[in-house]
Amino acid sequence: MRRTLVCVLALALLVAVPASAARISSTMITHMDQVYQAYPACVDSISGPYCFAGYMGMGQPIISSVPGVLCIDPGGCDWPNFIGAAQAGVDYTIKNTMLVKETPEFVQCFGMFPPHTVVQQGTPNIRLWWPLMYELPSTTYTLTILYGTPILWDDDGMGPNPPAWVHVEQWVWHVDTDLEHLALLLELFHELPYGKDEVPLISDEPLYEELQGKIAAALAAYMAGDTATAAWILADFELEVMDACIDVSPAFPNPTGPGTGIANSQENPACCKLLVDVEYILYTTGIGQPGQ
One-letter identity of residue 101: K
Q: Determine the number of helices (DSSP H) and then strands (DSSP E) in the chain.
A: 6, 16
What does the pLDDT read at residue 158? 67
What does the pLDDT read at residue 64? 80
Report, as an integer, the average pLDDT of 238-262: 83
Taking phi first (over 0 means left), then psi (-120 to 50 degrees means alpha), and beta for anything else, what does residue 60 get?
Answer: beta
What does the pLDDT read at residue 47? 56
Instruction: Read off the pLDDT of residues 141-195 as tens digits, 9 standing for 90 and up.
Output: 999 999 999 999 988 766 667 789 999 999 999 999 999 999 999 999 999 988 7
One-letter identity of residue 30: T
Whether 9 and 113 share a structural domain: yes
What does the pLDDT read at residue 173? 96
Report the alpha-carbon distance of residue 128 to residue 140 in Å, rounded. 14
Distances (CA, A) of 118 to 19, 80, 102, 142, 173: 33, 24, 7, 10, 14
- Give a yes or no: residue 124 inside a domain: yes
What does the pLDDT read at residue 201? 94
What does the pLDDT read at residue 8? 32
Distances (CA, A) of 26 to 23, 65, 118, 148, 240: 7, 42, 27, 10, 53
Higher pLDDT: 43 or 245? It is 245
What does the pLDDT read at residue 28? 86
Report, as an integer, the average pLDDT of 18-41: 78
The percentage of residues in the chain with a pLDDT greater than 70, rounded to a whole number, is 84
Report the alpha-carbon distance of residue 90 to residue 155 in Å, rounded. 10
Instruction: Read off the pLDDT of residues 77-130 as tens digits, 9 standing for 90 and up.
Output: 999 999 999 999 999 999 999 999 999 999 999 999 999 999 999 999 999 999
The percentage of residues in the chain with a pLDDT greater than 90, rounded to a whole number, is 65
Whether 29 and 74 share a structural domain: yes
pLDDT tops 90 at residue 268: yes
What does the pLDDT read at residue 11? 40
Query: 176, 197, 231 — which closes off a domain?
Result: 176
Taking the CB of residue 218, how many other CB atoms lie within 10 A of it? 29
Give the pLDDT band of residue 16 (cuts 50, 70, 90).
Answer: very low
Report the alpha-carbon distance of residue 193 to residue 200 in Å, rounded. 4
Higher pLDDT: 250 or 92? It is 92
Give the helix ranges, DSSP H, for 52-98: 84-88
Whether 6 and 123 share a structural domain: yes
CA-closest candidate to residue 245, choices 217, 211, 282:
211
**Which domain range does residue 29 map to?**
2-38+67-176
Report, as an integer, the average pLDDT of 23-45: 81
pLDDT tops 60 at residue 45: no
Whether 144 and 271 share a structural domain: no
CA-closest candidate to residue 249, choices 206, 209, 205, 200:
200
φ/ψ (deg, to 5) at 152 = -65, 125
What does the mean pLDDT of the chain come to? 86
One-letter identity of residue 170: Q
What does the pLDDT read at residue 3? 33
Report, as an integer, the average pLDDT of 35-49: 73
Higher pLDDT: 187 or 12? It is 187
Query: 176, 196, 213 — which closes off a domain?
Result: 176
Distances (CA, A) of 160 to 10, 25, 140, 156, 205: 21, 12, 28, 9, 59
Whether 25 and 153 share a structural domain: yes
CA angle 58, 63, 69 (to 5 degrees): 155
Whether 194 and 119 share a structural domain: no
Whether 232 and 255 share a structural domain: yes
Query: 130, 161, 176 — which closes off a domain?
Result: 176
Report the alpha-carbon distance of residue 235 to residue 229 in Å, rounded. 10
Total domains in the chain come to 2
What does the pLDDT read at residue 197? 72
For residue 175, the surrounding DSSP H or E stretch is: strand 164-176
